[in-house]
């Protein structure tokens, strides 16, 4: 089955390297973020299933192991449990959140439900700890961290001592240095723990003494090697090129791996931004010399989306039609065994999937969700374990132009999920014009690259305006601009007022049908970046 081939491929892409770090995945939304933090230290990191046997773990000769968090409690029957021999495997271990609770629970300590769920920022008291885990942290005895847990450790297991406390938990961090077992209740991997990177570094480089010899260029090498291992010497691959960074880098990787056995197919579903098709042809066909088939499927998508207002339904329909168009194209263009997609790790984690047995579903991402059961391609997803900025590094490494690589992300379902309500041709035209103005002004203000995404959302709300001497009655358009490191969390951007004023004035004056512009001031969480 395709999914197995995919995870086997990402395993290979992750590689096996002596002296790196293995992160055991217990289903936390942040598990892959931990591996990425480790890679930032130039140390090889791989996310592996929580139930990998100790023999398999030791065969990879890791310098250290990090146990991720999980949405489960250690007392849940369904709560994921590691190989019991893990604790005495002789490899330094750092447990994070659920990871430390497992450690405490399985080694004779006691974990219990907290009086209240601790969620958000907290101050942990480190006191005068000389623990190497906290070296360089807690300047005045206190460290700001980010917590997200329902249970906490009540009694430490024999041999363990507390390294840090909070008002609500006596074991915010604990360790048994003799056995090289370390644990923290908070999340060092998220940006809301300001010194989290330093703490992870203390574990990875000082305690586990991992080798810092890995470089981002290796991501490209590993991915190319994984593609060659997956795709046979005569197999051909179709690639879903959208013009976005993800599919561009995926295509470039596949192109590097198998040359002109790759055919890129660009499906113009009519949900693209203005001038998208032209730009695409220019960059990929003319400049990069890739084989690219342009398919005009606007009518088909338009028809399929008629009367649909539910966001999940939109995504499913778009995903389904997308794959069907590919199916037809492959029949027309010859034999293709594989379909390459630019699915990233954040897409994977937010959709229910094999790797994220326990993560809660938030949205069905088009690249992962709407695949029909009768899909006849096997998938090649070389970016499946990477975050956006890592993908950009790979793109630059491969020599893609900055105009492609440093582009803001654009979702697979395109403008359809930025039109609240039914997607009609007229609404698409309205949004396309507004979107163009937003990007134009953001670029003119020199802000484009510092923002994760900037876009317009067309709402079905109608509002009265006045233009000249006449009354107008049109739609409310929202502007969304966010900063983010990886799309998993985001903050609304504090755009300068004059930039907002320019955008608003241009849109109301230049885009027929829009009478009012509002600015979205919601962060993620609790909102998502896209409106649908």
Residues serving a catalytic function are: 97, 187, 189
Is residue 367 near ligand XMP by the rule CB under 6 A?
Answer: yes
Kindly state the number of chain residues that form the binding site for ligand XMP, as judged by CB under 6 A. Answer: 17
Is residue 363 near ligand XMP by the rule CB under 6 A?
Answer: yes
Is residue 147 near ligand XMP by the rule CB under 6 A?
Answer: no
CB-CB contact of 27 with 198 (8 Å)? no
CA distances from 179 to 72, 236, 488 (A): 26, 51, 34
Closest approach of ligand XMP to the CB of residue 330, in Å: 21
Is residue 520 near ligand XMP by the rule CB under 6 A?
Answer: no
Closest approach of ligand XMP to the CB of residue 346, in Å: 6
Is residue 409 near ligand XMP by the rule CB under 6 A?
Answer: yes
Closest approach of ligand XMP to the CB of residue 396, in Å: 19
Alpha-carbon Rg for the chain in angstroms: 25
Query: 37, 366, 418, 432: which one contacts ligand XMP (CB under 6 A)?
Result: 366
Query: 413, 439, 504, 508: which one contacts ligand XMP (CB under 6 A)?
Result: 413
Query: 19, 92, 99, 411: which one contacts ligand XMP (CB under 6 A)?
Result: 411
Q: Where are the alpha helices (DSSP H) in 162-230?
A: 196-201, 217-230
Q: How many residues does the chain have?
A: 532
Question: For residue 489, what are the contacts with CB-CB under 8 A and spacing of at least 6?
Answer: 190, 191, 192, 523, 524, 525
CB-CB contact of 101 with 81 (8 Å)? no
Per-residue contact track with ligand XMP, 253 to 272, x per CB under 6 A?
--------------------
Q: Is 334 exposed, middle or buried (0-12, 13-18, 19+ CB in 10 A)?
A: exposed
Nearer CB in complex with ligand XMP: 166/385: 385
Is residue 341 near ligand XMP by the rule CB under 6 A?
Answer: no
Is residue 432 near ligand XMP by the rule CB under 6 A?
Answer: no
**SS3 state at 23:** strand
Closest approach of ligand XMP to the CB of residue 137, in Å: 31
Nearer CB in complex with ligand XMP: 315/506: 315
Nearer CB in complex with ligand XMP: 168/523: 523
- Three-state SS string over 236-303 comes to CEEEEECCCHHHHHHHHHHHHHHHHHEEEEEEECCCCCCCHHHHHHHHHHHHCCCCEEEEECHHHHHH
**Using CB under 6 A, which of the segments 8-16, 44-52, 122-130, 408-416 binds ligand XMP?**
408-416
Interior/surface letters 106-115, b for 16+ CB within 10 angstroms, e for the rest: bbebebeebe
**SS3 state at 213:** coil
Query: 236, 256, 365, 432: which one contacts ligand XMP (CB under 6 A)?
Result: 365
Closest approach of ligand XMP to the CB of residue 387, in Å: 11
Place of tokens 């409106």: 531
CB-CB contact of 153 with 162 (8 Å)? no
Per-residue contact track with ligand XMP, 288 to 327, x per CB under 6 A?
---------------------------x------------
- 123 phi, psi to nearest 5 deg: -105, 125
Is residue 407 near ligand XMP by the rule CB under 6 A?
Answer: no
In angstroms, the CA 237 to CA 384 distance is 17
Is residue 524 near ligand XMP by the rule CB under 6 A?
Answer: yes
List interacting residues with ligand XMP (CB under 6 A): 315, 347, 350, 363, 365-367, 409, 411-413, 453, 487, 524, 528-530
């Amino acid at each position: 089955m395709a999914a197995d081939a995919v995870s086997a491929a990402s395993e290979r892409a992750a590689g096996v390297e002596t002296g790196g770090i293995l992160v055991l995945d217990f289903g936390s939304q942040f598990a892959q973020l931990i591996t990425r933090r480790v890679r930032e230290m130039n140390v090889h990191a791989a996310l592996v299933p929580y139930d990998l046997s100790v023999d398999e773990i030791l065969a990879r000769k890791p310098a250290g192991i990090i146990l991720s968090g999980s949405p489960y409690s250690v007392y849940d029957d369904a709560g994921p449990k590691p190989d019991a021999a893990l604790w005495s495997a002789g490899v330094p271990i750092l447990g994070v959140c659920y990871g430390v609770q497992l450690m405490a629970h399985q080694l004779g300590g006691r974990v219990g439900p907290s009086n209240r769920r601790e969620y958000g920022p907290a101050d942990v008291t480190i006191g005068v700890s000389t623990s190497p885990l906290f070296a360089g942290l807690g300047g005045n005895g206190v460290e700001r961290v980010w917590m997200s847990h329902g249970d906490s450790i009540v009694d430490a297991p024999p041999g363990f001592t507390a390294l840090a406390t909070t008002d609500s938990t006596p074991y915010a961090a604990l360790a048994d240095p003799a056995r090289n077992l370390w644990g923290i209740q908070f999340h060092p991997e998220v940006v809301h723990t300001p010194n989290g990177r330093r703490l992870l570094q203390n574990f990875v480089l000082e305690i586990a003494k991992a080798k810092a010899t890995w470089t981002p260029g290796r991501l490209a090498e590993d991915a190319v090697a994984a593609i060659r291992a997956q795709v046979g010497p005569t197999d051909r691959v179709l690639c879903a090129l959208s013009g976005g960074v993800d599919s561009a880098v995926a295509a470039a990787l596949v192109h590097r791996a198998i040359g002109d056995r790759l055919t890129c197919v660009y499906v113009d579903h009519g949900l693209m931004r203005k001038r998208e098709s032209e730009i695409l042809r220019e960059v990929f066909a003319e400049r990069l010399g890739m084989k690219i088939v342009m398919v005009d499927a606007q009518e088909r998508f338009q028809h399929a989306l008629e009367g649909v207002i539910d966001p999940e339904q939109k995504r499913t329909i778009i995903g389904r039609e997308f794959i069907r168009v590919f199916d037809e194209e492959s029949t027309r263009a010859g034999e293709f065994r594989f379909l390459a997609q630019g699915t990233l790790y954040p897409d994977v984690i937010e959709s229910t999937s094999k790797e994220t047995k326990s993560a809660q579903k938030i949205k069905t991402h088009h690249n992962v969700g709407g695949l029909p059961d009768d899909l006849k391609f096997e998938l090649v997803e070389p970016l499946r374990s990477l975050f956006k900025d890592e993908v950009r590094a790979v793109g630059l490494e491969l020599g893609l132009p900055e105009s492609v690589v440093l582009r803001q992300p654009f979702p697979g379902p395109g403008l359809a999920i930025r039109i609240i309500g039914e997607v009609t041709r007229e609404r698409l035209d309205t949004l396309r014009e507004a979107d163009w103005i937003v990007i134009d002004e953001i670029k003119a203000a020199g802000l484009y690259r510092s923002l994760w995404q900037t876009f317009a959302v067309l709402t079905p709300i109608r509002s009265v305006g006045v233009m000249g001497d006449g009354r107008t009655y049109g739609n409310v358009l929202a502007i969304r601009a966010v900063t983010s490191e990886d799309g998993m969390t985001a903050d609304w951007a504090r755009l300068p007022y004059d930039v907002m004023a320019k955008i608003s004035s241009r849109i109301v004056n230049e885009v027929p049908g829009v009478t009012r512009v509002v600015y979205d001031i919601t962060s993620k969480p609790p909102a998502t970046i896209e409106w649908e």
